[in-house]
């Protein structure tokens, strides 16, 4: 297996999906060992920091990539297997940001209120115990929360000649901010342009479902990634994720019900592909069996998840069993 290691310099970050020249050309089957900077571009490091003072809002959510996958053509399916996600620092940061967040006035939920107060929280990571530490600022309270590393942002170049900010989630993936994007899963994305041009970033050491204030426990991440290309199958309209235990579809739109509807329709299509269920039967099965944890209710589009446990379903091999194959390969890298 070819292994490519890459830690981008600051001037090499990508800020968009599409519109950027690839940093590498790789072949399917490559293993990438990447470093990703945090969504704050590393600028938020202290509880005394105010986001509006230390952040450059034109340089948030830096991406590592994009990678040009040889042979990838529109209509193919890109499979990205997250072999390992390891926090690259011993702390993560989160902050309220003026006019951002699910419970805040924003440029889209445009009301007449003053912005919420700014506050920054720093989470220390205890690698041995596998926890990050929440430290309240209004009272004397410290809580240990399990460290559950994930990537907020995984995406390819968008369709329709568009270039989208790395802050946006949509059909091309992007800033979906779902805790489902953790080590051990395979993400399937529709290839929209030659080479697919995928990139990753936005490591979270932990995130709640919905990402209420808009920023998770943001942290630089060491990412080990296996890349595969699937030809000759219908590519998914919306991003799919496969884990050992679940099938997952992520929809992104506004209002939130439309994001969720997209994930449901995506799952109905997937169940049809896997088992031959017609749409009404798949609709019924989801009605009784779907899990629907929210991903984010803060980004340019909201993201919602439909997932279903493999334990409830007959055995199947999505995309010819590529997930199982990559899962095994991942043990060797």
E strands present in 168-243: 169-170, 173-174, 186-190, 198-206, 217-218, 221-230, 240-242
In this structure, what is the dihedral angle of CA atoms 140, 97, 165, 38, given to the nearest 10 degrees? -30
Q: Residue 104 CB, nearest distance to a second copy (Å)?
A: 6
Rank residues 259 and 326 by Cβ distance to a second copy and give the closer one.
259
Rank residues 217 and 220 by Cβ distance to a second copy and give the closer one.
217
Q: Residue 93 CB, nearest distance to a second copy (Å)?
A: 11
Q: Residue 228 CB, nearest distance to a second copy (Å)?
A: 26
219 and 88 Cβ atoms separated by less than 8 Å: yes
* Residues linked to residue 25 through DSSP beta bridges, in sequence order: 68
Q: Residue 226 CB, nearest distance to a second copy (Å)?
A: 29
Report which of 152, 142, 261, 134 is spatially closest to residue 209, judged by C-alpha positions: 152
Q: Residue 73 CB, nearest distance to a second copy (Å)?
A: 15
Report which of 11, 1, 32, 29 is spatially closest to residue 199, judged by C-alpha positions: 32
Report CA Rg, the chain: 19
Q: Residue 58 CB, nearest distance to a second copy (Å)?
A: 7
How far is the CA of 171 from the CAs of 159, 215, 227, in angstroms?
9, 22, 19
Rank residues 67 and 205 by Cβ distance to a second copy and give the closer one.
205
The backbone region for 234, taken as left when phi is positive above 0, alpha when psi lies in -120 to 50, beta otherwise, is beta
Rank residues 19 and 42 by Cβ distance to a second copy and give the closer one.
19
Rank residues 222 and 281 by Cβ distance to a second copy and give the closer one.
281
Rank residues 218 and 228 by Cβ distance to a second copy and give the closer one.
218
324 and 185 Cβ atoms separated by less than 8 Å: no
């Amino acid at each position: 297996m070819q292994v490519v290691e890459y830690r981008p310099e600051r001037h090499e970050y990508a800020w968009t999906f599409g519109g950027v020249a690839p940093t590498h050309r790789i072949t399917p089957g490559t293993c990438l060992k990447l470093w990703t900077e945090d969504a704050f571009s590393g600028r938020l490091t202290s509880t005394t920091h105010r986001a509006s003072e230390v952040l450059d809002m034109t340089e948030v959510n830096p991406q590592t990539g994009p990678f040009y996958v040889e042979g990838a053509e529109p209509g193919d399916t890109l499979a990205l297997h997250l072999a390992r996600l390891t926090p690259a620092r011993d702390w993560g940061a989160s902050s309220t940001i003026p006019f951002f967040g699910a419970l805040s006035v924003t440029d889209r939920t445009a009301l007449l209120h003053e912005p919420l107060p700014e506050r920054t929280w720093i989470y220390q990571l205890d690698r041995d115990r596998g926890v990050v530490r929440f430290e309240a600022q209004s009272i004397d309270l410290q809580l240990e929360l399990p460290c559950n590393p994930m990537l907020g942002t995984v995406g390819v170049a968008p369709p329709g000649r568009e270039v989208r900010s790395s802050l946006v989630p949509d059909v091309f993936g992007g800033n979906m901010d779902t805790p489902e994007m953790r080590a051990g899963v395979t993400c399937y994305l529709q290839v929209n342009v030659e080479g697919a041009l995928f990139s990753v970033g936005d490591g979270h050491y932990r995130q709640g479902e919905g990402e209420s204030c808009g920023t998770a426990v943001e942290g630089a991440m060491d990412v080990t990634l296996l890349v595969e290309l699937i030809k000759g199958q219908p590519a998914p309209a919306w991003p799919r994720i496969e884990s050992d235990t679940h099938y997952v579809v992520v929809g992104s739109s506004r209002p939130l019900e439309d994001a969720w509807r997209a994930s449901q329709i995506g799952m109905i299509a997937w169940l049809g592909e896997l088992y031959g269920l017609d749409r009404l039967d798949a609709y019924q099965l989801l009605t009784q069996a779907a899990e629907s944890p929210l991903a984010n209710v803060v980004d340019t589009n909201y993201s919602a998840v439909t997932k279903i446990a493999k334990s409830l379903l007959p055995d199947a091999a999505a995309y010819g069993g590529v997930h199982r194959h990559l899962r095994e390969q991942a043990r060797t890298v």
